[in-house]
Structure 1
Amino acid sequence: MASADQLIANLEGLNLNSFANELERVRARDALFEALRKVQTPWDIVWDHNWVNGATNASIKTLIEAGLFTEWAESGGAPKTTTELAELTGVDEVLIKRMLRQISGQQLITETVPDTYKPTPWATALATDPALASCYGEFYAQLNNPMFRSLPYFLKKTGFKNPTDDLAINSEMVGSFHAAMQCHSKYNLTSWCEVYPTDSIVGAKKEGVPLVVDVGDGSLVLQDLPDVVRGMKVDKAISVQGYDFFTPQPVKGARAYFMHNVLHDWTDDLAVKINENIASAMEKGYSRLLIHESLISSAKPLARVTTSDLTMMACLSAKERTESECGQLVESAGLKVVKIWRPPLSVESIIEAELV
């Protein structure tokens, strides 16, 4: 049996650059998390859920609002004492010391010597990626925290029924919501071009017919609601078009109609309607519908997917789906599944469908 000292020594020096590729990093991360759970007592877990997580998130949000991560990065990102960081931000030194101790205890910054800290890649990223920091803003304050706090009480009140009523997002937090979704796509997902063989799309292109229609997010057509695409600047090869996917698809006979994280925002009946509108524009034997979504595995589903599923439920009465459930949405719209492209340990897959 390995001693604690041996185990700790084996983990020393482990970082983001310790792996050959992203797949290996994710495998190691999941194994480390599983190992952590095995050495935690039930109280360790309860303490984390009810005390540590809340205190840490509150500290992070406070320090972001105080400008600490931005000021720290702009000053060069070198190790600093709490006195220096207080002077840099104008925040009360005692307060900043208490906040830094909390996030340091969660290994979010590194204490090099007593009362002196250096930023980690996470802390630096909060300064360099505004969308990442925004996840701790109104998305944190008005959406995630309130909805998950209220969810158990709401479900009890409604007799523990699965929510299916359409919900809407507070218009005041739309910007923060989009920033959070931007981070979800940037850091949590795999590009669809790495999942699906795009040469099969390009190789079958017909002259005078749009090649790819990106629904909801020339020869390339990007579609979204008019207010979203108004003033959008894109490559000249891409045509931007205002479109509501609950209305008939205006681009007919394209080689591929692509949707990324669209259907998981909607209940089953509305998701079928979206698919039907695209199916009505497709050319039999030529057009493809490519649905880029997270899929819930039948065994050991990924935590990132199950978390997203509960987020969709609490936020929009929607959901992530299994392969079978996605297949039913496709078939109900007069389509059939050609193949599901699903890389190992990938959060998202691509469901390829065509007209029956």
Structure 2
Amino acid sequence: MAAQLRELAQNPPQDANERRELYEAARLLHMSLETPFDAMHRLFWSVYQLPMTQIGVDTGLFKTLAEDPNRHWTLTDLSVDLNVDTKLLYRILRYLASFGLVSESANGTYHANSTTQWLSTPGAEGGTKHYLKTVSPAAHAFPETLSQQGYRNPTSSTDTAFQKAHHTDVSAYSWTPPDPTVLPAFFEFMKSQRASQRNWTENFPVDTLTLSEKEIQDKRALFVDVGGATGHQCISLRQRHPELSGRLVVEDQERVIARADEAELNKHQVESIAHDFFQPQPLKGAKAYYLRNIMHDWPDAKCVEILRHLRDAMAPDSVILIDENVLPDVGASWKQAQKDIQMMSVLAAVERSVSEWHELLGSAGLKVEKIHTYDDDIGDSIIEAIPA
């Protein structure tokens, strides 16, 4: 059986669904075979994986290997090219190869694999720095923070492990890192994440948003992206569905809207409005109010505040489209569970399950009309919300 598994590892399936199913099955097999000694190594020494990845970024190792994936480098050649001590580089490579971040050949040479190539991209480099410098300190402060709070579910974004770790009294989104390279790294990481994610329109009946000719003439807003940053979702909707006529509007805080490319917005007939979603919604009666990854940044009370402003602005046929992860009530995946813990430790926020979404919307005078899941891996879904 071990030989068959090794052969499968050399030739993994190419179908995405089959790969995901096999990946989860292999993970379950791995856990079932793990001894307490194995668990000790997995848990206690995992703290070095992110710092060692950062070293691979800082030395230029991943970029160098990824420039020519077919080249097999000797230790000596890499040492000279990177200007890193040979003995030190050997130990770094040995570690990274053991976790599959680079590949080591039987003859002692090194080359890039798909993970190496990904780690050489600006998005992966940004994510490495963001998680090492911003998230990891909060993770390490999390146990003490929960203990001091009496093990109560965090509800304040200014009283989390993040504040303890970074010695600040402001929320994570208001914090200015002392290292000026951290914030650009975060933005680069977020940009790369958006580019790799599936689009919400893939499994949503977009034609249900169609406006009548009179509504178009009356300038009714078709789609309002609330907290939509620089308008990429509006632009994407216009590009994917040019048959949808009507006003597309992106709203965000003034300092965020100022970063938008006005020429690009105008090209796709997208309007921009400076708006704080904790204030009353200025555009009344829009067909659809859309929020992408807004709710998971805030605890319940703040989410209810945002949603009530939208409910007050809705027309009888308006709908709120909430683009978020929807976790199962039982059997959440490890990806979903660890993301929830991150949001709790940094923002006192939540990745919500089906029942939690129903409860949250009910608190805001809304109800779930339907949930459209478009990415089963992490539960990305569109929650249609209408007045209760």
TM, length-normalised to structure 2: 0.83
8 Å Cα contact 1:164/1:317 also seen in 2: yes
> 1:277-316 CA deviation, whole Å, 9 max, x = no partner?
11122111x2110001112212211211111110011000
Instruction: Name the stretch that deviates more: 91-100 or 256-265.
Output: 91-100
Aligned to 1:141: 132
1:271 Cα offset (Å): 0.2
**2:151 aligned with 1:160:** yes
1:346 Cα offset (Å): 4.4
5 Å-filtered alignment, 1:236-275, equals 236-237=267-268, 238-275=270-307
> 1:24-73 CA deviation, whole Å, 9 max, x = no partner?
3222211111111112212212201211x223322210120122222333
Match of 1:290, SS?
strand
The amino acid across from 1:135 in the alignment is G
Distance in 2 separating the partners of 1:174 and 1:46: 34
5 Å-filtered alignment, 1:17-36, equals 18-20=13-15, 22-36=16-30
Task: Say if 1:231 and 1:184 are closer, same or farther in 2 by CA, change over 3 A.
Answer: closer
Aligned to 1:48: 42
Match of 1:342, SS?
strand
The amino acid across from 1:114 in the alignment is N
Match of 1:341, SS?
strand
Identity of counterpart residues, as a percentage?
Answer: 30
1:141 Cα offset (Å): 2.8
1:351 Cα offset (Å): 1.0
Q: CA RMSD in A?
A: 2.1
Distance in 1 separating the partners of 2:123 and 2:138: 21
Q: Which one of the candidate residues 343, 351, 359 is aligned to 1:312? A: 343
The amino acid across from 1:134 in the alignment is G
Distance in 1 separating the partners of 2:54 and 2:36: 28
Distance in 2 separating the partners of 1:295 and 1:182: 22
Q: How many residues align?
A: 345
1:94 Cα offset (Å): 1.9
5 Å-filtered alignment, 1:44-123, equals 44-51=38-45, 53-74=46-67, 78-123=71-116
Q: Which runs of 5+ in 1 are unaligned?
A: none
> 1:212-231 CA deviation, whole Å, 9 max, x = no partner?
11111272112222212213
Instruction: Name the stretch that deviates more: 163-172 or 307-316.
Output: 163-172
Q: Which one of the candidate residues 202, 211, 236 is aligned to 2:210? A: 202
Distance in 2 separating the partners of 1:182 and 1:347: 20
TM, length-normalised to structure 1: 0.89
Task: Say if 1:142 and 1:7 are closer, same or farther in 2 by CA, change over 3 A.
Answer: closer
The amino acid across from 2:220 in the alignment is V
Match of 1:340, SS?
strand
Structure 1 residue ranges, 4+ long, deviating more than 6 angstroms after superposition: none
Distance in 2 separating the partners of 1:121 and 1:183: 16
8 Å Cα contact 1:340/1:351 also seen in 2: yes
Instruction: Name the stretch that deviates more: 164-173 or 253-262.
Output: 164-173
Distance in 2 separating the partners of 1:307 and 1:166: 18
8 Å Cα contact 1:302/1:347 also seen in 2: no
Aligned to 1:340: 371
1:348 Cα offset (Å): 1.4
